[in-house]
Amino acid sequence: MNLEEINAVKKLLSKPQKIVIVPHKNPDGDAIGSTLALWHYLKNMEHDAFIISPNSYPKFLKWIPGNEQILNFEKENSQAKEKIKQASLIFTLDFNHLGRIGQMEPALEEASAEFIMIDHHQAPSDYAHITYSDITMSSTCEMVYNFLEFLGDTDRITPKMADCLYTGIMTDTGSFKYSSTTSRTHKVVAQLIEKGAENTKIHNLVYDTNTPSSLHLLGCALKNMVILEEYNTAYIILSQEELDANNFQKGDTEGFVNYGLTLKGINFAVIFIENKEEGIIKISFRSEGDFSVNEFARKHFNGGGHTNAAGGRSDISLTETAKHFVALLKGYKEELNS
């Protein structure tokens, strides 16, 4: 953020505002952690602030301090719409185009509030009055820390806020191992621990959450893995039937896609998950090295994200989607083998 933008934010926050904070649909640890950290900060500054999530989020995030006050746009629709209408300021966090909030998009488009975007995904659109976008950042949580630093307010980071921010940085960096993790990321994390983030407890609360069914579902996914050595690619298919048979709960498939990358020589891993209720196939893409899954997802599967982690969707059947995907790989053979 430049000085002009920082001063504009300071001016906005110098008087009481009605604020709505929005994460992307199917919010992950970074989306929930960053919105909650910002919410605590704004509430402590006596602003009238609410988080409205487009839909629900996994159980392994339901301990994060303050999460019980998050409104669900799907379930608390009229209350959420009213808050958006009344808002004087709307923060959008961890996404950068309004298509990422699903059914909530029209409500935000009609809002009269000023928008502030904080996000680290590629190719931001320009709906916000103030855009803090940086694709080199590990996470939106790291950016919220920077945002507070720009405002001269890191002293206002409470232990609860430190827990929120630590969670998002941890989940978005794969526990500090992805290439987006910099020395600065570690410095921020060190500060958060000094400010009271309970690192070991957070790891347990987020990662040690398996149930017998979720482990059986992982077994099913690993059994279904198809390895295409020719393309250094591995993919997994999970049907609605398999999800149902293993008592699928939101969040149970988190991280499954990464198993493909643990195979020697594999640098492109994909998972296709059928969602009968929404009538779509949700896809996650991961890569190691230069192959941009962001570009691949954007071009072929109506999605996007980062160079090494992206998501997308397909509206044709599960098997047709996988067939289409395998056919596409021919055009990327050289890239995937370099």
State in angstroms the smallest separation of the CB of 246 from ligand 5GP. 20
Q: Which of positions 23-62 make contact with ligand 5GP (CB under 6 A)?
A: 24
Site membership for ligand 5GP, residue 124 (CB under 6 A) = no
* H/E segment holding residue 90: strand 89-93
CA-to-CA dists, residue 205 to 64, 162, 198, angstroms: 9, 15, 11
**Residue 274 binds Mn ion (CB under 5 A):** no
Out of 18, 313, 326, 335, which residue is the one contacting ligand 5GP (CB under 6 A)?
A: 313
Closest to 13 in 3D by CA, of 104, 202, 148, 137: 148
Question: Pairing mode, if any, of strands 280-287 and 268-275?
Answer: antiparallel
Could you tell which of ligand 5GP, Mn ion, none binds residue 25, using a CB distance below 5 to 8 A set by kind? none
Single residue of 24, 94, 163, 293 touching Mn ion by CB under 5 A: 94
Q: Which residue is nearest to ligand 5GP (CB)?
A: 311
Q: Judged by CB under 5 A, which stretch of 4-12, 72-80, 89-97, 289-297 contacts Mn ion?
A: 89-97
Residue 305 binds ligand 5GP, judged by CB under 6 A: yes
Among 155-163, 184-192, 231-239, 301-309, the segment contacting ligand 5GP (CB under 6 A): 301-309
Counting contacts by CB under 6 A, is residue 310 touching ligand 5GP?
Answer: yes
Residues in 159-178 at the binding interface with Mn ion, rule: CB under 5 A: 172
User: Is 270 exposed, middle or buried, given 0-12, 13-18 or 19+ CB atoms closer than 10 A?
Assistant: buried
Closest distance between ligand 5GP and the C-beta of residue 196, in Å?
A: 27
312 lines the binding site for ligand 5GP (CB under 6 A): yes
Tokens encoding 71: 């409104």
In the window 240-299, what residues touch ligand 5GP (CB under 6 A)?
284
Gap between the Cα atoms of 302 and 99, Å rounded: 10
CA distances to 144, 315, 317, 318 from 269, in Å: 30, 20, 20, 17
Alpha helices in the chain (DSSP H): 3-13, 29-44, 77-86, 105-110, 140-150, 159-172, 183-194, 199-207, 212-224, 240-245, 293-300, 318-329, 333-337
CA–CA separation, 139 vs 172, rounded Å?
6
Min CB(100)–ligand 5GP separation in Å: 6
Asked whether 220 and 247 are in contact (CB, 8 A), the reply is no
* Interface segment toward ligand 5GP; rule CB under 6 A; list 181-189, 222-230, 238-246, 302-310: 302-310
Q: Is 119 in the site for Mn ion (CB under 5 A)?
A: no
Rounded to a whole number of angstroms, the minimum distance from the CB of residue 256 to ligand 5GP is 10
Output the smallest distance, CB 222 to Mn ion, in A: 26
| Nearest distance in Å: CB 243, Mn ion | 25
Number of residues that bind Mn ion (CB under 5 A): 4
Signed CA dihedral, 48, 56, 294, 205: sign only = positive
Instruction: Choose the binding region for Mn ion from 87-95, 196-204, 243-251, 329-337 (rule: CB under 5 A).
Output: 87-95
Scan for tokens 């999460």, then name that residue.
67
Q: Are strands 89-93 and 114-119 parallel, antiparallel or unpaired?
A: parallel
The binding site for ligand 5GP (CB under 6 A) comprises 24, 100, 121, 284, 303-306, 309-313
